[in-house]
């Protein structure tokens, strides 16, 4: 009868192959978890900026954002600047009604005193709303 046992070399090669496959699987799972965390962080930042933009578009740029709606250490600030476009300076451009003015609304997201991200919205505003 033939002896069908594995040799030591075959066992070592099989062990090395299984170890490499396990290592690759762990690296793939680790990278996947890291990408998920980064995507969640990016979504969270975008969500908070959207929340701030919606609030300030509704209540005005000078309105104080309610701190109880934000996580601890996070702040949303807003200010306006005048919108200037070179095409608006040309003589043949359309003139806006004097009661309206193009403005940039800057919504800033802060964490512990450090600026995280900013969203700039260009909008026509009535002069009495400035």
Instruction: Work out the burial of residue 51: count CB atoms within 10 Å of its CB; fewer than 13 is exposed, 13-18 middle, 19 or more buried.
Output: middle
The one-character DSSP state at 1 is -
Question: Residue 119's pLDDT is what?
Answer: 93
Pairing of strands 114-126, 74-82: unpaired
pTM surpassing 0.85? no
Span 80-123, pLDDT tens digits:
888 877 565 454 444 555 678 888 999 999 999 999 999 999 98
CB 45 within 8 A of CB 109: yes
**Averaged pLDDT score across all residues of the chain:** 86
């Amino acid at each position: 009868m033939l002896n069908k046992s594995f040799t030591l070399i075959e066992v070592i090669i099989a062990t090395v192959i299984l170890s490499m496959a396990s290592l690759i699987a762990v690296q793939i799972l680790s990278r996947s978890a890291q990408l998920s965390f980064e995507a969640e962080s990016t979504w969270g930042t975008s969500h908070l900026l959207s929340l701030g933009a919606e609030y300030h578009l509704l209540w005005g740029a000078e309105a104080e954002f309610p701190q109880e709606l934000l996580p601890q250490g996070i702040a949303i600030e807003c200010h306006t600047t005048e919108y200037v476009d070179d095409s608006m300076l040309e003589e043949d451009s359309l003139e806006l009604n004097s009661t309206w003015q193009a403005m940039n609304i800057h919504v800033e997201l802060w964490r512990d005193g450090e600026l995280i991200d900013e969203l700039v919205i260009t909008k026509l505003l009535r002069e009495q709303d400035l």
